Amino acid sequence: MQSDSGQKRRRGRPVGKTGDTRERILEAAREVYGEHGTYGTTVALILKQADVSRPTFYKYFSSAVDVIDEIIRDCNEDVERLFVKVFEQPQKEFYDYLPMALSGYLNWGRSKGLLMEARFRELHDRSSPVSRYRDEHNRRIVAILHDSMVKHGRTPPGDLALTSLVQGIEHLGYQFCMQAEHTEMPHYIQVMGRLCIAMLGNRHDWQEMMASPFFSRLLGLEES
């Protein structure tokens, strides 16, 4: 390949902004990590996927683990931003957030493809960066739920209940991304929604949703 001046460009040293090169490496690392996981991701594989030189890689990252750490942190922050954005929307009742929050979470996970499968596989591997960041990430999700309930005049349950809810949703998200067909999403939303209402709701919520054709169908309440 030649530049406009007629000189050959050296492989692995693309012309472009610094941010573009860094993002190019990250995108390549996401693909490699999604296919190989933490233990199979190497600098050599990232270099090949990104088509950059080793010195270029080390200009931005110190190791393959350094890149994976950033990928996992980015994934976690994506989820946190998703829930913050959902709860910022004006809704009449707190349970009105369920369809947006749950479908948004499942669609986000499915959109990540192999990356999300690799992430979920390593949730309970204490030597993986996924597991290392998991507790901190879940605490932030708990805080988002807690603050959102307070903002809407609700009394939040204790941390144990909120943490159990977050871990339950996480597990169902794992099952959906790893094992389920996309057409099964309504069933997963039904189960996740019931879990949310059981942990966060009150008698008024159940009565209102039973009277709502939309929520009765969404949560399968007409079958109860």
pLDDT digits (tens, 9 = 90+) for 101-110: 999 999 999 8
pLDDT score of 1: 43
Residue 69 sits at the vertex; the CA angle it makes with 68 and 75, to the nearest 5 degrees, is: 90
Average pLDDT over residues 76-95: 92
Work out the pLDDT band at 139, boundaries 50, 70, 90. very high
- C-alpha distances in Å from residue 117, one per residue of 28, 106, 168: 16, 13, 17
Can you give the residue ranges of every domain in the chain?
Answer: 1-61, 64-223
Q: What is the pTM of this model?
A: 0.82
- CATH H superfamily, domain 1-61: Homeodomain-like (1.10.10.60)
Pick the CATH number of 64-223 from 2.60.40, 1.10.3470, 3.90.930, 1.10.357: 1.10.357
The conformation of residue 37, written as its DSSP 8-state character, comes to H
Average pLDDT over residues 169-179: 90
Least Cα distance to 201 among 100, 97, 94 occurs for: 94
- In the block, residue with structure tokens 């054709």: 213
Least Cα distance to 75 among 156, 133, 148 occurs for: 133
